Structure 1
Amino acid sequence: MAQRLRPVGPEFVQTAPLRLAFTRDMAAAPDVVFRALAEDVAGWPEWFSAVSSARPTEGGREVRLRGGTRFEETVLLAEGPEVYAYRVDVTNAPGARAWVEEWRLAPAGTGTRVRMTFALDGTAAFRLVCRLVRPGAGRAFRDAVAALDRRLG
């Protein structure tokens, strides 16, 4: 059953009770990576294997993951080529109360250092599950960034 989450702003990335952050370098330049993240929402399933569908909406996105999790999101920051962040407004993930995902892009040689942060709040059970899936989420992130890099190369 879908539930509406607490509306939070971009500062939640710094204040969330639980933060999961992952970093990986890629060969593509920051502006190219930013365009893939922020402007080619429908292309996400082609490089992020956890995403089964994504489509832009007025001011946000609708995303479905493999396995059935759904998100209605609002874009909070689209400050290219440095940061792209969105808030989950509605999800069917049980126990979630507030959720922001932030992608930070920084030059790294001729490429980009990508840092993705999940900022989360929820029930004790939700937070525990998030901690337990951290290794898998990290692998999914690293694999996705590698696939995006191949796609952009």
Structure 2
Amino acid sequence: MTIKENSIQLRKVSTADVDAIWSILQQAIEKRKVEGSTQWQDGYPNPTVINRDIENGWSYVCMDEQDNIIAYVALIFDIEPAYEAIQGKWLTDGPYAVIHRLAVSQERKIKGLATEIMMAAENICLQQGVPSIKVDTNFDNTAMLRILEKLGYTYCGEVFFRAAARKAYEKILNV
């Protein structure tokens, strides 16, 4: 199945969604492992992280036509401490949103879903007047690197999480 441009919406998460979200994240963790990546192979993310995302109001899910959760993303409207020590330079110094923990269901593959989720997150930021999005990913996460390039994110340098370097990107939105 292929989705139509701008046809998805993200909704806020409730604690009732944790099991479905954790299932999707476990699928993503396994996918990264099979691909030979070290990303997400150290016990992160986990249910505690999901619950913290929910408590902070950062959690969003994407639903299919039958109201099944098919993707998860944390959209954070707060400073990411690791981003303060970038080895490189961000495009902007002002307010920004952060995208973390984007994962899509491996049970029901939908071509372009992760890209559409990124675009939906951009729309949420625009609605809230947030002028840029910052995101990072592992050096070997080729799928996410392609999405960031396709959507016009600019490589800004490296940030570090749990002692590992990540490629850092920013996109200035047309607020």
- State if a TM-score over 0.5 links the two structures: no
* Structure ranking higher on relative contact order (CA contacts 8 Å, 6+ apart): 1
Asked which structure has the greater CA Rg, the reply is: 2
The structure where strand makes up a greater share of residues is 1
Q: TM-score, normalised by structure 1?
A: 0.33
Q: TM-score, normalised by structure 2?
A: 0.30
